[in-house]
Structure 1
Amino acid sequence: MEASLTGRMLHVKGKLGSAHKSFRKIPVGIRIDGSSVVLKAEGTRKRDLAILNTARSIVRNLCEGVGVGYTIKLKVVYAHFPITIKQDGAMILVENFQGERSARKAKIVGGTKVVSKGEDVIVTGHVLTDVSQTAANLEQGTKVKNKDHRVFLDGVYVYEKKKGE
Structure 2
Amino acid sequence: MSTKQIEKSTTEIQIPKDVKVNLKGSMLQVQGPLGKVYKNFKKIPVLIQINDNKILLRKTGERKKHQAILNTAKSLIQTLCTGVVDGFTIKMKIVYSHFPVTVKVEAKKVLIKNFQGERAPRISMIKGDTKVVVKGDDVIITGPVLTDVSQTAANIQLKSKVKNKDHRVFLDGIYRYSKSKGIEE
Q: Does the alignment reach a TM-score above 0.5?
A: yes
If the length of structure 2 is used for normalisation, what is the TM-score?
Answer: 0.88
1:13 aligns with 31
Residue 61, structure 1, aligned to residue 79, structure 2: yes
Greater Rg by CA = 2
**Gapped runs of 5+ residues in structure 2?**
1-18
How far is the alpha carbon of 1:43 from its aligned partner? 1.4
Residue 23, structure 1, aligned to residue 41, structure 2: yes
Aligned counterparts of 2:76 and 2:56: Cα–Cα separation in 1: 13
Aligned counterparts of 1:61 and 1:113: Cα–Cα separation in 2: 18
Aligned counterparts of 1:40 and 1:161: Cα–Cα separation in 2: 32
**Gapped runs of 5+ residues in structure 1?**
none
Q: 2:108 aligns with which of 90, 94, 97?
A: 90
1:136 aligns with 154
Aligned counterparts of 2:117 and 2:67: Cα–Cα separation in 1: 51
Aligned counterparts of 1:116 and 1:150: Cα–Cα separation in 2: 26
Aligned counterparts of 1:140 and 1:122: Cα–Cα separation in 2: 16
Say what the alpha-carbon RMSD is for the aligned residues: 0.6
How far is the alpha carbon of 1:89 from its aligned partner? 1.0
Show CA shifts across 1:100-121 (max 9, x none).
0010010001111000000100
If the length of structure 1 is used for normalisation, what is the TM-score?
Answer: 0.98
- Listed as ranges, the matches of 1:64-79 within 5 Å are 64-79=82-97
Aligned counterparts of 1:53 and 1:144: Cα–Cα separation in 2: 39
Instruction: List structure 1 runs of 4+ shifted beyond 6 angstroms.
Output: none
How far is the alpha carbon of 1:3 from its aligned partner? 0.2
How many residues were matched structurally? 165
How far is the alpha carbon of 1:10 from its aligned partner? 0.4
2:165 aligns with 147
